[in-house]
Amino acid sequence: MRLIPAIDLRAGRCVRLMQGDFDAETRYDADPRSLLIKYRDYGAQWLHVVDLDAARDGSTANRPVIADLVAQKHLQLQVGGGLRNTTAVAQMLDLGVARVVVGSAAVTQIDQVRTWLKHFGAQRVTLAFDVRLDEKGTPRVATHGWRELSGASLWDAVAHYAGADLVHVLCTDVNRDGTLSGPNVGLYQEAVKRYPQIQWQASGGIRDARDLRALTDAGAAAAISGRALLEDRIPIEDLQAFLPNG
């Protein structure tokens, strides 16, 4: 399993939100470029970047920061946030990011997203499904910056792409995001069981190397970690097994 460090951008700064709440923001002093270099030195190959302003209102204010990170050529970037039409996706790929992350559109514009997978290539598009568990424990997909519940289950959402060349799916348990409470391992076990052909990326709640090992055992292809790495909560020696260049 591959560990992918994450940076969330808001107004050009690195921040973290608690459970997707824009009013529960933590700002970090480190600038995005220095974090990219830090994670490169750790041995990471990829960096996951979320443009929170674009996700919330379509703003392109963080675009120069993303362009600067791409220009460093140290890591491959996987970037999401506000990519809801063909022009936005194409512009991000033209900027030089290795892979775009498509969230709300993957639920609300299924036919369009299927064409993106075909046109841009499955290796360059990750579908992101952010979920909240309902009272029965079913993962329900949230959209538009986690503010709206679509009513669709995660399994229904993925099933819409049957027959499409879908490779990468990022799944975040919103209630665990930013909490350091541990990932929803059972969710990813079920996801891998239902759709073993997909390379699942697990996100939300990672706090230590034990969590990374548990996600490995669950069959996740990658784990996205933001807060635990930003706050140096995991010793670098414990990360090495999950960082291929370390």
Measured between its terminal Cα atoms, the distance across the chain in Å is: 14
206: left (phi over 0), alpha (psi -120 to 50) or beta: beta
d(CA 116, CA 106): 10
CA dihedral (217, 219, 222, 226) positive or negative? negative
| Residue 94 falls in the annotated catalytic set | no
Cβ atoms 154, 190 nearer than 8 A? no
Contact (CB, 8 A) for 110 and 122: no
Annotated catalytic residue 41? no
CA distance 226 to 206: 8
In degrees, rounded to 5, the angle at the alpha carbon of residue 14 between the alpha carbons of residues 47 and 48 is: 15
Give me Rg for the CA atoms of the chain.
16
Catalytic residue (one of 130, 173, 177, 211)? 130
Bridging pattern class, strands 139-143 and 148-153: antiparallel
Rounded Cα–Cα distance for residues 47 and 128 (Å): 15
Of 8, 51, 173, 211, catalytic: 8
Looking at residue 45, the DSSP 8-state letter turns out to be S
* Sign of the C-alpha dihedral computed for residues 49, 50, 51 and 53 taken in this order: negative
What residues are labeled active site?
8, 130
